[in-house]
Amino acid sequence: MVKSSVLGYPRIGADREWKKALESFWSGKLEEEEFHSQLQEIRLNHLRKQQEKGIDFIPVNDFSYYDHILDTAAMFGIIPKRFAYEGGIVPLSVYYGVARGTKGAAASEMTKWFNTNYHYIVPELAGVSPVLNENKPLTAYREAKEKLGIEGKPVIVGPLTFLKLSKGYNISETDAWLDRLLPLYVQILQELAEEGVQWVQIDEPILVTKLSEADVQRLKTIYEAFAASVPNLNIMLQTYFESVENYRDIVALPVKGIGLDFVHGFSGNMQSIKALGFPADKVLGAGVIDGRGIWKASLRGKLELLEELAEFVTVERLIVQSSCSLLHVPVTAARETKLTSELKDSLAFAEEKLDELVLLTKAVSSNDVGIIDELEKCEVAIQALQLSEERNRSSIQHAVAAVSSQQPNRSQPFAERHAAQQAKWQLPLFPTTTIGSFPQSAEVRKARQLWRKDEWSNKQYTDFIREQIDIWIKLQEEIGLDVLVHGEFERTDMVEFFGEKLAGFAFTQNGWVQSYGSRCVKPPVIFGDVAFTGEMTVKETKYAQSLTQHPVKGMLTGPITIMNWSFVREDIPREQIAYQLAYALRQEVEALEQAGIGMIQVDEPAVREGLPLKEEEQADYLAWAVKAFRIATCTVQETTQIHTHMCYCEFHDMIDSIEAMDADVISIETSRSHGELIHSFELNTYKLGIGLGVYDIHSPRIPSVEEMTGMIERALRVLDPKLFWINPDCGLKTRGFEETVASLRNMVGATKIARNNHAAIV
């Protein structure tokens, strides 16, 4: 009998109750005991939902108080020394200190989870001795069984993945670290086996990346140790996000099941199974329902895929499951009452994916007419959207095809543009600026809400936004910044704002997903051909420029970021979506320039997030990502200065592509990993304008002048001082007023010291 399984479930809740509980606790409005109680109720509700839907293998220990990688580190007592952790179960004050920073200690680095929009806290192994202080999977298993009668499937991040995603140790120390961690993992599994646990899901997504021969041997060491220690425990070795490398070695490991992604890794995994078969003594976890996308699956097509897999795996050894955790999709589409029926009928969020899994599982072994009818309903909904007018805008398709067939280049090379821009702007050494947004207070959010509810007129709202711009233009001048921004007070989100003004987008009411910590985003849905419909940012930027003699940057979000931070249609290549977005944004860039805005920032913080996990596919992606940026920005005059911004990136392997974007100035988020990025520039020359973020905006702490001065001086060892800018890591939307002003004053103070230290350059 075929079974169904889920690899993980969204933490945030249908009403973001998880986020609200976290932020209430952080602000002191919720006592710790009540906080634990609220999170338990949220957690149990998620388990109950899966139970009611009929999922056979329900994951436990996939829930988190912040991040699952941080949870794993905390379980092993892997806490940086600067947080004064004294052993035992990690207190919440220390746990959240690692994630968010404290007054006396900087937060640990945060980076993206493979090629998703989720970000995890990077474990720091230096100077710590791991010990199992709490068996979290066992606790989660017991809770599900005692409270709901669920025979849960504990989920654990595997040792190889955990090590490969950690920092603070030399490669030569990998085996020594494995020797430290392996007994702790064995202890976890032994305690689970003693408890009567049937299946354990060990996540090893690192197996879809390129592994060294040494790593393959480590993998064998790990799972042979597990098999010897818990021979009767069923281990599902779970992979996702792509096809596995080293297929032959992986399926030979002594585990009961292998979980493979047949959505994003379909081609490679299917090719491997056809060429090499699948072991007769193992269960195949077939990830056929997309855990990252929001569209209804063609269940008829998925059923055909499962029937094809049944040629290699008997039905009794087949589990139908999501391709990855459902963490990456919203909770439910049932409450999306404002979408057209055509679009809503095409969506499947987490709850709907549970239904798809259960229906598909039944369909594998049944010819029931009712089930067949349900499969056909999916096909009808998918086809209706495909034939819609929004997906067939021929004028846009032809225009984009013409633009993308040409090579987009600026009229002059950077050296000539830089000279012309410097002559125009007369900027000082080490120009200071911010990334774009300023704090959005409760007053700002309330004003937007009143306007959206039609309780405020357009004039009332416009006047309010102008008042905010007035305040912050004056503040920026007083602080001493050189290049100003209008503050983006009219914008809810850097992607949503533009999507609302472009054709081809739709917006959900409750389509929230977790980005990092309590930070939730509501990605737009790109469901049709994208088209420019009118000016989007000119009014506010032009008004801000009228208030000051300093240059004010126009602020746009770039095509690749809009695409990567949206849920996108699946019927055309992502490259074509990027070009459609670039063509629309080009028209906005030209409108800003015509309105007298001479500095325009087109942010691309998410370029790396779309980088394919397979090395052989990366060059092609970067080529068309760069081309899309250049399509959006190449038509401006040589004196118009194009800026961009990137964050959460490891740049050493893509500096050439960043330079190829040909932006006059790039700002990069680096404060949590400053040393690593500086090292990249020690190895690679960068010839364009650049600003390395000098303080972390994700932490409430105010960095000192001395701290920022140190970061500036280190960067100047490897970067051209005449091309160096000084700025915060990222936008300041989520920060408070007082900490923002204090931090920027310190940043300007550090800049003055740097200018004095390098006065001879002028």
Catalytic residues, which ones? Answer: 698
739 annotated ligand-binding residue: no
Would you state the torsion angle of the CA atoms of residues 13, 18, 21, 22, taken in this order, to the nearest 10 degrees?
Answer: -160
Query: Is 113 part of any known ligand binding site?
Result: no
11 is in an annotated binding site: no
Tokens 């032009």 found at:
542
- Is 19 marked as binding a ligand? yes
246: left (phi over 0), alpha (psi -120 to 50) or beta: left
> Is 535 annotated as a binding-site member?
no
Distance CA 583, CA 592 (A): 15
Determine whether the annotation assigns residue 145 to a binding site: no
730 is in an annotated binding site: yes
Residue 166 C-beta-side C-alpha neighbours within 13 Å: 29
Strands 599-603 and 567-568: unpaired
Would the annotation count 342 as a binding residue?
no
Please indicate if the annotation marks 634 as binding a ligand.
no
Element spanning 502, H or E: strand 502-506
Q: Would you say 734 and 438 are in contact if contact means Cβ atoms under 8 Å apart?
A: no
Is 117 annotated as ligand-binding? Answer: yes
Is 436 annotated in a binding site? The answer is yes
Q: Take residue 133 and report the two structure tokens written for it.
A: 């202080």
Q: Return the ∠ at Cα 351 (arms to 347 and 356), rounded to 5°.
A: 70
- Characterize the bridge pairing of strands 519-521 and 318-322: unpaired
In the three-class reduction of DSSP (H, G, I as helix; E, B as strand; rest coil), residue 666 is classed as strand
DSSP H helices, 520-605, are 538-545, 559-564, 574-594
The residues, any chain, with a CB within 8 Å of residue 377's CB and separated by 6 or more, are none
Rounded to whole angstroms, what are the CA distances from 4 to 12, 289, 384, 415? 23, 11, 29, 60
Look at the alpha carbons of 20, 24, 30, 32 in this order and tell me if their dihedral is positive or negative. Answer: positive
Residue 757 is labelled as binding a ligand: no
519 is in an annotated binding site: yes
Specify whether the CB–CB gap between 273 and 309 falls below 8 A: yes
Kindly tell me the burial class for residue 546, based on how many C-beta atoms sit within 10 Å of its own C-beta (0-12, 13-18, 19 or more): exposed
Q: Does 565 show up as a binding residue in the annotation?
A: yes
- Tell whether residue 177 is among the known ligand binding residues: no
- C-alpha to C-alpha distance for 498 and 559, rounded to whole angstroms: 10
Position 629: which residue type?
Answer: F
Binding positions? 16-19, 112, 117, 435-437, 488, 519-520, 565, 603, 609, 645, 647, 669, 730
Binding positions for 5-methyltetrahydropteroyltri-L-glutamate? 16-19, 112, 117, 519-520, 565, 609
Binding positions for L-homocysteine? 435-437, 488, 603
Binding positions for L-methionine? 435-437, 488, 603
Binding positions for Zn(2+)? 645, 647, 669, 730
